[in-house]
Amino acid sequence: MTDQRFIPPDDFDLDEYMRDSFGVMHTDVERVVIKFDPSLERYLKENIWHPSQAFKKDKDGSVVLTMEVGGLVEVMSWVLGFGRQAEVLAPAHLRQAVAEELAATMGKYVGEFMPPLQERAEKSPW
């Protein structure tokens, strides 16, 4: 810590600066598309995840969320919290990051629970 104080410029507007962020990280804005299980429709639509959010129902009944957001690290964490009930469709680099995170996580369990884990996943109601 120092005795120095930060004084923002008079014309600085924090709300404007953070407007496009998904959380607290401020990064370039990107179009994010996530497909959710139909069972989550009500929950998703009852919440404001981001001011730019738009929902549409897919032919298979799933809910597709589109947002123009920054802070994809936070988006990834949020998506991972939905487990198999969410799938990132775009952007490709976010989809890849989620896949890599899931693969790394699975690597921690493979020896102990595979193949029984795969058999249970196929029977899971989720």
Q: Domain for residue 49, yes or no?
A: yes
Mean pLDDT of 62-83: 94
Reported as a pLDDT band with limits 50, 70 and 90, residue 18 is low
Place of tokens 């009944």: 61
**Given the DSSP bridges, would you call strands 63-69 and 54-57 parallel, antiparallel or unpaired?**
antiparallel
Q: What is the pTM of this model?
A: 0.73
Q: Domain for residue 105, yes or no?
A: yes
Is the per-residue pLDDT at 55 higher than 90?
yes
Give the CA distances from residue 97 to residues 3, 61, 74, 77, 106, in Å, rounded to whole numbers and listed in that order: 40, 26, 12, 10, 14
Q: Lowest mean pLDDT: which of 19-23, 54-58, 105-109?
A: 19-23
Are the C-beta atoms of residues 36 and 63 closer than 8 Å to each other? Answer: yes
**Eight-state DSSP code of residue 20:** T
Domain range spanning residue 40? 19-123
Reported as a pLDDT band with limits 50, 70 and 90, residue 120 is low
CATH code of the domain containing 81: 3.30.70.240
Q: Domain for residue 79, yes or no?
A: yes
Q: Residues of the chain with pLDDT > 70: what percent?
A: 75
For the chain, the average pLDDT equals 84
Q: Domain for residue 90, yes or no?
A: yes
Is the per-residue pLDDT at 124 higher than 70?
no
* C-alpha–C-alpha distance, residues 16 and 125, integer Å: 43
Number of domains present in the structure of the chain: 1
Q: Domain for residue 5, yes or no?
A: no
Is the per-residue pLDDT at 23 higher than 80?
no
Q: Domain for residue 3, yes or no?
A: no
Question: In terms of DSSP H, where are the helices of the chain?
Answer: 14-18, 41-45, 72-80, 92-107, 110-113, 116-123
Is the per-residue pLDDT at 58 higher than 90?
yes
* C-alpha–C-alpha distance, residues 50 and 111, integer Å: 39
* C-alpha–C-alpha distance, residues 94 and 6, integer Å: 34
Q: Domain for residue 9, yes or no?
A: no
